[in-house]
Structure 1
Amino acid sequence: MDLKSGYPFWAIRNGLMHAFPRLERDLRCEIVVIGGGISGALIADELAAHGHDVAVIEQRDIGWGSTAASTALLQYEIDTHLIDLCKQYGEADGALAYRACAQAIDDLGEVARGLRDVDFRRSASLYYASKPGHIPVLREEAALRSRHGLRLRWLEADALESDYGLRAPGGILSECAASVDPYRMAQRLLARLQRNGAQVFDRTKVATMRATQRSVELRTDDGLRVRAEHAVICAGYAAQKWIDQRLARNRSSYAFVTDPLHKDELQALDTTMVWESARPYLYMRSTGDGRLVVGGCDDAIDLPARRDRRVESKARELVKKVGQRFARLQLKPAFAWAGTFAETSDGLPWFGPHEQHGPRVQFAMAYGGNGITYSMIGAGLVRARIERRQHSLARLFSFERGER
């Protein structure tokens, strides 16, 4: 799949950080992870850290798929409101999903502390009402989150104006959020795994997969054979090709990044990411060197050529939207890009085995607006299944949840 258009900032900033080899011989391992983006890196790291023999195979260069186009907002907030999740799956499970995402941000911070320079930064998250009619729902949402221990406060319009220069009727300010350079984190994780003895291969495409009761066999485009006890498919939005069931819909999202801004321009935006209640939503977050990453203007385009042609016009539209909300910000894109992302109907990810391939093959489909947060949760879910342990989210995040 062609997953990105334009000039994704992380790829330009970092370049090809580390050289990984192609697979050039048959391979045996305990667990093969298919996909070398941030999801595959987090899951492989979790498995290797707990004593499993792991090999990673990526069809592109490491981190060069959708990871390079991610805007990497790390939030406990799911695209689906907590009040809606609770209506669909019950309050206990809805709250469990939200609290797990909050814990995942702390867990990502721990992972980042063991790496060098991945621009992991804790921040607040401001979720503002796009129009007055959204206020009642957001107030109900805030009350429910507070009842389940999520730390936040309500800001009225005057506070938003004075503290953020934001013209909006009200919003929820949460303490729990962060951001990261996703490409750099994936590269650092997999390079460390390689140094510690794990096998990491890129530019190696898996052509076929066959699972039995005891093992999984892969064949590459070059005819090489990979045999493992378990396979974990972390191929991002391309993973859907392995399942004969429509699990999500692919869309395109657009983004740009500015040159570094002065602290006086950023003000509270230096430590607070913002996003809105409208769908699709506008969002912004800062980087460690003082840039603003702005994204949104999502559409249903999933054709690379059409998406490519829209990057510049969408960047101009994003600039206009920011100006309508933040009068003091006069932003100019330094680099603009677009990327494919996938939406599930309930905003939740898919982790675990699918009946089509049996228990030896697990899928890690961290779809939605907070995919990296989901991937951190998914690392524990995948390991628990391989080790035959129970996990509190195993059913809610599995392919079985629709059967309730």
Structure 2
Amino acid sequence: MNLKSGMPFWLIKDGLPYTFPKLGKDIETDVVIIGAGISGALVRYYLINAGIQCVMIDSRTIGLGSTSASTSLLQYEIDTPLHVLTEKIGKEKAERAYHLCDYAIDKLEEIAKKLKLKEFERKKSLWYAAYKKDVSLLEKEFQARKQAGFDVKLLDEKQIQEQFGFKAPLAILSAQAAQTNAYAFTHKLLQAKKGSKLDIYDRSPIVKINTKKNGAVLKTESGFTIKAKKVVYATGYEVVEFIDKKIVDLQSTYAVVSEQYNEKKFWKDEVLIWNTANPYLYMRTTPDGRVLVGGRDEEFHNPDKRNKLISKKTKQLTKDINTLFPYLDFKPEFSWTGTFGATKDGLPFIGIYDRMPNSYFALGFGGNGITFSLIAAEIITDLLLGKKNKDAAIFSFDRV
């Protein structure tokens, strides 16, 4: 599946910082991780730090799937508001899911510092009502988050105008958020190693997987085999090829990055901004003085139809941000589209799938893909070590 198209800013900026070989021999390992994007990279990082032998393999050059198209906003907010999620799965599980995403931001910062990744910045997050009809939704959500212990403030129209310079009837300002560069983060994670070998192979599509009670045998397009005791699927939206029941709806999102500004005269604190529209508009800044705006999602049909809309969506998103912040005079320089998945409850799928023995899944669907991937890495590491994880049930396949 072609997961992105256009010119993702991160790929243009960072290029190919490291290269990896194709698989050119038969190998054996304890764990094989399929998928070398940010999800697989985090799983691998946790596994090698836990002393678990693992091999990673990807069908593409490393990071050139959804990871290079990620806009890399890190928020504890899930696409499903907390008070709505509470109605779906109960207060305890809903609040725990939100707190896990909050924890994940802290943990990602800790890892970024260890890896000396420069592109990790603490931010606040502003979620504003796109329409007056959404005011009651924000009021309910504010109360739910307050009761759950989150550091949030409710801003009225006057406060939004005075502090952030645009008009909206109501907004929730959250103290906890961050932004990063998922593509650079992935490459940093993949440089962590145990011993002298990286054991990472790209451009090696897996064409057949035979899972049994005592392990699995994988065959590549070139005819080489990988024998493993366990398989971790970190293939993201391509998982539909492996799961035989409906768990995700595929959609396309669009993103545009501006030309570089001579002076950083952006909005207050350069907070992450998003709204209540469906699909929602979102925006952030970049360390080198640009503005990123995304949204205008479409239901996924096929890559060709998705890609033909890039020019139209670029114009629409440019108009969207110039309407909100006329003084920016936003001029697009890089634009792209990527495929993402949405689940009914906004939560990822993590852990085991009964119909596939010795298999584990790290599927961080939705707008919280990176924070979900951190959670998945911790849960899967526990499961592989034979430990119980109290949070695994929240994200299990059994909930469908």
TM-score range, shorter chain: over 0.9
Pairs within 5 Å for 1:157-306: 157-193=157-193, 197-263=197-263, 265-268=265-268, 270=270, 272-306=271-305
Q: Which residue of 2 aligns with 1:334?
A: 333
Q: Which residue of 2 aligns with 1:41?
A: 41
Pairs within 5 Å for 1:71-220: 71-193=71-193, 197-220=197-220
Gaps of 5+ in 1: none
Q: Distance in 1 between matches of 2:135 and 2:35?
A: 41
Q: CA RMSD in A?
A: 1.3
The farther-off stretch of 218-227 and 96-105 is 218-227
TM-score (norm 1): 0.96
- Contact 1:165 1:327 (C-alpha < 8 Å) held by counterparts: no
TM-aligned CA deviation for residue 194 of structure 1: 7.3
Q: Distance in 1 between matches of 2:262 and 2:100?
A: 35
Q: Which residue of 2 aligns with 1:396?
A: 394
Deviation string 1:221-243 (CA, Å, 9 cap, x unpaired) is 11111011111010111122011
Q: Distance in 1 between matches of 2:262 and 2:195?
A: 39
Gaps of 5+ in 2: none
Give 2:338's aligned amino acid.
G
1:13 paired to 2:13: yes
Q: Distance in 1 between matches of 2:372 and 2:48?
A: 19
Q: Distance in 2 between matches of 1:8 and 1:57?
A: 23
Q: Distance in 2 between matches of 1:263 and 1:330?
A: 13
Deviation string 1:88-122 (CA, Å, 9 cap, x unpaired) is 11100000000000000001001111223441111
Q: Distance in 2 between matches of 1:172 and 1:200?
A: 42
- Contact 1:165 1:328 (C-alpha < 8 Å) held by counterparts: no
Q: Which residue of 2 aligns with 1:384?
A: 382
1:371 paired to 2:378: no
Deviation string 1:257-312 (CA, Å, 9 cap, x unpaired) is 11223555213152x00000111000001111121111000001331111111111
The 3 A distance-change label for structure 1 pair 161 and 240 is same
Q: Distance in 1 between matches of 2:317 and 2:6?
A: 15
TM-score (norm 2): 0.97
Give 2:173's aligned amino acid.
L
- Contact 1:118 1:181 (C-alpha < 8 Å) held by counterparts: no
Tell me the secondary structure at the aligned position of residue 176 of structure 2: strand
Deviation string 1:102-158 (CA, Å, 9 cap, x unpaired) is 000001001111223441111000000111111111111111111111111011111
Of all paired residues, the percent bearing the same amino acid is 37
The 3 A distance-change label for structure 1 pair 141 and 301 is same
Tell me the secondary structure at the aligned position of residue 51 of structure 2: coil
Q: Distance in 2 between matches of 1:122 and 1:34?
A: 31
Tell me the secondary structure at the aligned position of residue 328 of structure 1: helix
Tell me the secondary structure at the aligned position of residue 149 of structure 1: coil
Q: Distance in 1 between matches of 2:388 and 2:287?
A: 38
TM-aligned CA deviation for residue 354 of structure 1: 1.1
